[in-house]
Amino acid sequence: MKLTRRSFTTTALAASSLVAAPTIVRAQEKELIVISYGGALQEPHRWLGDKLQREIPNLTVRLVPSESQDIVAQIKAAQGFSPYDAMPNGEPPHLIAIRDGYIQKLDPTRLENYDNVVPEFWPKTQGYGVPATFSLIGLAYNEEMVDTPPTSWADMWNEEYADMVGICRTSSNLGLGTLAMTAKIFGGSETDLDPAWAKLKELNPLAGRSPRILAQMLERGEIAVAPLWNNDAAVAAEKGLPIKFVKPDPGPVAILSVMSEITGARDTELVYRWMDGIISDDYQELAAAAPYYFGVTVQGVDVPEAARPYTPSTPEEVAALQTVDWAEIVKVRPELVERFDREFAT
Amino acid sequence: MIDAQGINKFFGANHVLRDCDLTVEGGEVVTLLGASGCGKTTLLRCIAGFETPDAGTLTLAGQDVTRLPPNQRDVGFVFQNYALFPHMSVEENVAYGLKARKAPADQIKREVADALDLVSLTDFARRFPNSLSGGQQQRVALARSLILQPKVLLMDEAFNALDAKLRGAMQVELRKIVKRVGITAVCVTHDQSEALTISDRIAVMAEGRIEQFAAPAQIYDNPTSAFVADFIGAANILTRDAAARFSHAAKTLNGNAALVIRPENVMLGGTPDDGVAGKVVFARLTGPAMEYEVALADGTVLRALVDRDGHVPLAVGADTQVAIRNPDACVALPGAA
Amino acid sequence: MTEAFWTRFRDGRGVWPAVPAFVFLAIFFIAPMGVLFSFGFTEIERGQVQENGFTLRYLTDTLSDDLFWWVWWKSFYIGTLSTLLCFLLAYPLAYLYSESGRRMRLLILVLTISPLLTSAIVRTYAWLVILGGRRGVINSTLIELGLIERPFRMLNTDFAVIIGMTQVHLPFMVLPLITVLAARDRNMEAASLGMGASRLSTFFRIVVPLSMPGIVAGLTIVFALSYTNFIIPQLLGGGGFTTLAVQVYEQIVVILDWSKGAMLALLLLGSCFVFILMIGLAGNRVMRWSVKETVE
Ligand SMILES: Nc1ncnc2c1ncn2[C@@H]1O[C@H](COP(=O)(O)OP(=O)(O)OP(=O)(O)O)[C@@H](O)[C@H]1O
Ligand SMILES: [Mg+2]
């Protein structure tokens, strides 16, 4: 390049503006903060975040693991100035978030992949967020401690597993799902949970404070059998731990996870790009693969062979999936959390 | 009663006691006298068993106790800082030893009352040591030891916190008790007049060594070293050359290296033929006597104590004549001054 | 005494140096605490304080709830037991320190303080490895040796929580004890021995009572820490274990009921304060001797 007087001046100007105005440069940087899962289950989110970072210049996607449970408390305390932009919720907290106004209604016209989604999932979102994935609550067991694997929910009460069954606290979706399912098979319902409390108490179970901790208790052999998320069981099995997952009769509980925009998100456009990514074929294919085995919510994505033990793979199995009337459960969630202590901590 | 032979004690590299021999007869009161840090407390603690000597043997009443723990020695100890138990009342402090011996309750009660009466602390029985004056604390410490009527009583500066009057009374009281009960006592003090008052014998210590061990009069009149002479009664110690000027004293000197002259043995204001010329450089009134310092021509300074009776005080700067009152009372020392 | 205080205040003697600390505390501690506790007497809907929302409902509901009293008892019993265990372990250690040479003292000090340099959570996770299930260090060793067939349940028990707390809080007991024991007047013990008392009775009648200031300080700090710790019970006690501190956490973070959480927090801190006061008063009673009495 021939350095003329003019080109020198422009170059110098450009350079000095870069030096002089770092704030301008920084203003062009974008950030998206998304609540995610803990451990290996975070990887599909990371993959999507990296993809967006490549597509959008100056974007940083930060994932915050929600294992610590205090995310919602922070959002609530922030009073509309949430430090986070998007979050996945299982159905129970999704309903609470809608009720308390922490998440925003979805504008379907802003999503390119809207029609990808299996239509039956949309009503479950109540018009908020996109159906991200679904997971199953089934029974996991430690192979080294169990001679005859359980095949049905009722098997939890088998003599063989006496005093070796774990359950999760009702502060988690897993615990609530376990409670609802127990009610159903022992003649109760979402509105009549007393039979479930009685039966669970009869188990003299060891309780886990969170699904992750319950999985670890199973890994360490503190318990032999426990209702568990398919994904946690799969990740443990993949690591070579003696953990097996069964879809117990009459069927595992399926819970949809909905990815939503948090009230007060700084850049709605980015959040929509993120949600669009969640319901893209590429993302869903990855999430459905080993070792995560998330249930897919879009049409036309093949479920890999290895996912068979963890996801419904035949039409009969799909038909057997159990659903829970979460609206009823959510109404009494605080009492259910306290009831757990009344039953098991005293 | 107490027989310490060749006691040596080190604190790390610090050689604190050097070949100390101390033999105390039953019923005798012995005082350890010496400058601060010379090892008095350490020697006393060795006798009590709070320290174990690195070399030497210790016999109490014919029994070798060199390795015996303190709680099996039957030795009373009054600490330099009293070491009263702050969490116990005066009464409880005094009763402590009897309780440890599992004495019956009524005996304890009686003897504690007697002991407190002895040290005039009956009214303070329920007070805690923190709220007592130094002298009161010291008396508690004494009562606490005396109540056990030990064979041997060791007292580390037991009277230093008392006012002059109380101190005198306690010294006399102590001598009485000791003689009455027949206790063998070893006391430590800085105070030479106290040492002279209460002791049957005095051991003068310097740098971990026992310099001289003898009766008070003996120590005073016949110090065996310049240190002892100086320590007891702050004597004038003259070199051979300085002493030679005093014609009367020359025969006492008798070829030795130094001469000890007590201040009260120095006479001022004679005639030139029986004295040496000097100049008053310091004058002070000390009650019944005047104390002077007089410089001789060669720079030697002599201390003199002069009875005020019939004496015309001399001013600083005045010229005078110095003489020795009684040459026989001077002590000649073979070592260097 | 107040008279003197105000005179000094007017003269500015002794008071002004404390002003920065006071302002700092007021802004960053007292004010937030005040706000938090006021939530306990307020109706809050969806994160919004309601108008005319003053209520005693949370106070009366909590105090009439069996669960609250049960949980309170658990907190108290866990806190007390782990404090006592701390004391029983720390006292001999501190005594050993006071009787040791320079090297040994350094070693004890380093061993005591070094755990403070790692986070309590990391140390607590270490207990998971030691106590946890059949793969835990203790159980796998016992099974290996053929001493037991089925693993003991050690994790997720009161025992695990007490052990975990004791370990984490031990330094706070050891340090004040070391301070008083190392600085004590050895002549006290010599005097006791000299009067014919045995070593054992000298220890219990002289050494222990005289170390009371350190004992009271240690008990106070460790009880306050144990009574209000909410991490260790969650990690080592399992899902079926709860204390008052854990309940506060659950109400605010999981159930999102700020009013109830605030009320529990108020009761937790209030009762903690009362217990500490009681330890202090008991200590003062035992240590009457340390204060100068004016008149008998
Ligand atoms: N426990 C100890 N450790 C190390 N050195 C010590 C110890 N006790 C005493 N010493 C040293 O030993 C020497 C003699 O001490 P000691 O207490 O016997 O002196 P003292 O003659 O009683 O002095 P004072 O008249 O001041 O009480 C001193 O130099 C002192 O520093
Ligand atoms: Mg001394």
* Residue pLDDT, tens place only, B236-246: 877 777 766 77
B20 against B319, higher pLDDT: B20
Residue-range domain boundaries for chain C: 59-295
Substitution target in B80, B85, B124, B186 with the highest count of C β-carbons within 10 Å is B85
Question: Are residues A221 and C151, on separate chains, in Cβ contact within 8 Å?
Answer: yes
Query: Assign residue A79 a region: left if phi > 0, alpha if psi is -120 to 50, beta otherwise?
Result: left
Q: Whose CA is nearest to atom 28 of ligand 1?
A: B37
Of A149, A121, A128, nearest to A255 (Cα)? A121
Cβ proximity of B235 and B311 under 8 Å: no
B72-95: pLDDT as tens digits: 998 999 998 899 999 999 999 999
Q: How far is the CA of A259 from the centre of ligand 2 (A)?
A: 82
Query: How far does Cα A168 stand from its chain's mean position?
Result: 16
pLDDT at A13: 44
A90-126: pLDDT as tens digits: 999 999 999 988 899 999 999 999 999 999 999 999 9
Q: How far is B40 from chain C (nearest CA, A)?
A: 16
Chain C hits for A162, Cβ within 8 Å: none
Q: How far is C223 from chain A (nearest CA, A)?
A: 22
| CATH of the domain spanning A26-131+257-311 | 3.40.190.10
Question: Are residues B97 and C296, on separate chains, in Cβ contact within 8 Å?
Answer: no
B253-267: pLDDT as tens digits: 666 667 777 887 787
pLDDT at C4: 67
Q: Using a pLDDT cut of 90, give the percent of chain A over it.
A: 71
What's the rounded Cα separation, in Å, for the pair A56 and A47? 14
Substitution target in C255, C257, C260, C264 with the highest count of A β-carbons within 10 Å is C255
Per-residue pLDDT, averaged over C237-263, amounts to 91
Question: Are residues A73 and C252, on separate chains, in Cβ contact within 8 Å?
Answer: yes
Q: Whose CA is nearest to atom 20 of ligand 1?
A: B37
- Could you tell me if C81 lies within 8 Å of chain B, comparing CB atoms? no
How many CB atoms are closer than 10 A to CB B181? 13
Beta pairing, strands B289-296 & B301-307: antiparallel
Question: Are residues B127 and C191, on separate chains, in Cβ contact within 8 Å?
Answer: no
Residue in chain C closest to B70 (alpha carbons) equals: C194
Domain B234-333 of CATH type 2.40.50.140:
yes
Binding site membership of B11 for ligand 1 (Cβ less than 6 Å): yes
CATH fold, domain C59-295, is: MetI-like fold (1.10.3720)
**Window C:37-56, CB contacts with A under 8 Å:** 46-47
Ligand 1 pocket: which of B32, B38, B77 to mutate (most atoms <8 Å of CB)?
Answer: B38
Neighbours of chain A (3+ CB pairs under 8 A): C
Question: Are residues A221 and C134, on separate chains, in Cβ contact within 8 Å?
Answer: yes
Which of A203-212, B22-31, C48-57 is the least confident region?
C48-57
What's the rounded Cα separation, in Å, for the pair C124 and C110? 20
User: SS3 string of chain B?
Assistant: CEEEEEEEEEECCEEEEEEEEEEECCCCEEEEEECCCCCHHHHHHHHHCCCCCCEEEEEECCEECCCCCHHHCCEEEEECCECCCCCCCHHHHHHHHHHHCCCCHHHHHHHHHHHHHHCCCHHHCCCCHHHCCHHHHHHHHHHHHHCCCCCEEEEECCCCCCCHHHHHHHHHHHHHHHHHHCCEEEEEECCHHHHHHHCCEEEEEECCEEEEEECHHHHHHCCCCHHHHHHCCCCEEEEHHHHHCCHHHHHHHCCCCEEEECHHHEEECCCHHHCEEEEEEEEEEECCEEEEEEEECCCCEEEEEEECCCCCCCCCCCEEEEEECCHHHCEEECCCC
Q: How far is B77 from chain C (nearest CA, A)?
A: 7
Q: How far is the CA of B42 from the centre of ligand 1 (A)?
A: 6
A33 contact partners, CB below 8 Å, separation of at least 6: A61, A62, A64, A83, A84, A85
Q: How far is C206 from chain B (nearest CA, A)?
A: 7
Binding site membership of B282 for ligand 1 (Cβ less than 6 Å): no
Structure token pair of residue B230: 């100086």
Chain C hits for A169, Cβ within 8 Å: 239
Chain C hits for A100, Cβ within 8 Å: 46-47, 256
Amino acid at A289: A
Half-sphere exposure of C218 (CA within 13 A, CB side): 30
Superfamily of domain A135-254+325-344: Periplasmic binding protein-like II (3.40.190.10)
Chain C hits for B112, Cβ within 8 Å: none
| CATH of the domain spanning B2-226 | 3.40.50.300
Q: How confident is the model at residue A173 (pLDDT cuts 50, 70, 90)?
A: very high
Of A255, A261, A244, nearest to A323 (Cα)? A255
- Could you tell me if C130 lies within 8 Å of chain A, comparing CB atoms? no
Cβ proximity of C274 and C223 under 8 Å: no
Q: How confident is the model at residue A9 (pLDDT cuts 50, 70, 90)?
A: very low
Of C46, B191, B71, B2, nearest to A72 (Cα)? C46
Binding site membership of B13 for ligand 1 (Cβ less than 6 Å): no
Question: Are residues C201 and B100, on separate chains, in Cβ contact within 8 Å?
Answer: yes
Q: How far is the CA of B303 from the centre of ligand 2 (A)?
A: 29
Q: How confident is the model at residue B180 (pLDDT cuts 50, 70, 90)?
A: confident
Binding site membership of B16 for ligand 1 (Cβ less than 6 Å): yes
Question: Are residues B96 and C296, on separate chains, in Cβ contact within 8 Å?
Answer: no
What's the rounded Cα separation, in Å, for the pair A215 and A239? 13
Out of C191, C290, C292, name the one closest to residue B77 (CB). C191
Chain C hits for A341, Cβ within 8 Å: 67, 71, 242, 247
Of A43, A61, A44, nearest to A52 (Cα)? A61
Question: Are residues A220 and C239, on separate chains, in Cβ contact within 8 Å?
Answer: no
- Output the pTM of the full model: 0.84
Task: Quote ipTM for the complex.
Answer: 0.82
Residue-range domain boundaries for chain B: 2-226, 234-333
Please check the confidence at residue B182 and state whether its pLDDT lies above 90. no
pLDDT at A1: 40
Which of A17-31, A41-55, C217-231 is the least confident region?
A17-31
Chain B hits for C293, Cβ within 8 Å: 127-128, 130-131
pLDDT at C216: 95
Q: Whose CA is nearest to atom 17 of ligand 1?
A: B41
With the C-alpha atoms ordered B135, B140, B145, B146, is the resulting torsion angle positive or negative?
A: positive
